[in-house]
């Protein structure tokens, strides 16, 4: 988007008579971007001895679809009710279909400490070509603390953040 700085367009001049009428159309963007999560993680996961041997537990995939007219960024947060450190979870962008401008997490990255959001990807206007992204989530068993409760409720929150226009 290129914004005016100082000049204004000059109308053409013609030797003969001219006349002009106009049509005025106003456009209001009431919600510029929409994120849909079309797949869920399993509601229950059990860490098996095989997982422990590998050191990781794959939690599954989230299928995200973005419809947007504006610049946006998609983030993910994890909530473990304080029972696990956030950085034991990792997420990354696995597959992309459609336009994107940047992938922040091309490989498994730990969630930031303190419940901060992990940016996944960013994009802009994708009208006509929705962007579908597969995000994978895993648990890094090697980063787990020694003492753990038997059941740990974990929830992931994926959200779209609209960025300032003008770019």
Partner 1 sequence: MMGWAGRWTLLVAAFVVVLTSIVEGLAQPDSDGEQTTFLVELAETVLVFVRADNRGRVIVGAPLLGEGERFVHLGRFIIQVNAITDYELRLSGRLEHLEPPPAQEIFIDPLPLEAKLDEESLQGSPVRLNYEATRFLPVRRIPYSYRLFQGGNNVVDPTRCAIEVRLDLRRLPSGRSGERLRFQILLTVIEQ
Contact residues for partner 1, defined by CB under 8 A: 1-4, 8-12, 14, 16-34, 67-71, 124-130, 162, 164-167
| CB of 103 vs partner 1, minimal distance in Å | 18
33-37 and 56-68 strand pairing: antiparallel
| CB of 53 vs partner 1, minimal distance in Å | 43
What letter would DSSP give residue 52?
Answer: H
Q: Which residues contact 134 (CB under 8 A, 6 or more apart)?
A: 61, 62, 63, 64, 93, 94, 95, 96
| CB of 129 vs partner 1, minimal distance in Å | 8
Residue closer to partner 1 by CB (options 17, 50) is 17
> Both tokens of residue 126?
């994708």
Residue closer to partner 1 by CB (options 77, 101) is 101
| CB of 132 vs partner 1, minimal distance in Å | 10
The residue assigned the tokens 């959200």 is 159
Residue closer to partner 1 by CB (options 69, 144) is 69
Q: Are 115 and 136 in contact (CB under 8 A)?
A: no
């Amino acid at each position: 988007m290129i914004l005016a700085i100082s000049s204004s367009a000059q109308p053409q001049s013609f030797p003969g008579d001219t006349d002009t009428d106009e049509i005025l159309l106003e456009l209001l963007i009431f919600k510029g971007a929409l994120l849909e999560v079309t797949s869920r993680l399993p509601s229950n996961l059990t860490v098996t001895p095989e997982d422990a041997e590998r050191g990781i537990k794959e939690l599954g995939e989230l299928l995200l679809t973005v419809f947007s007219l504006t610049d946006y960024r998609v983030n993910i947060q994890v909530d473990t009710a304080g029972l696990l450190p956030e950085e034991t979870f990792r997420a990354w962008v696995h597959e992309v279909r459609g336009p994107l401008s940047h992938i922040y997490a091309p490989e498994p990255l730990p969630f930031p400490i303190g419940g901060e959001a992990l940016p996944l990807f960013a994009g802009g206007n994708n009208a006509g070509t929705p962007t579908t992204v597969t995000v994978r989530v895993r648990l890094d068993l090697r980063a787990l603390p020694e003492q753990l409760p038997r059941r740990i409720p974990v929830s992931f929150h994926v959200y779209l953040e609209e960025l300032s226009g003008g770019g």
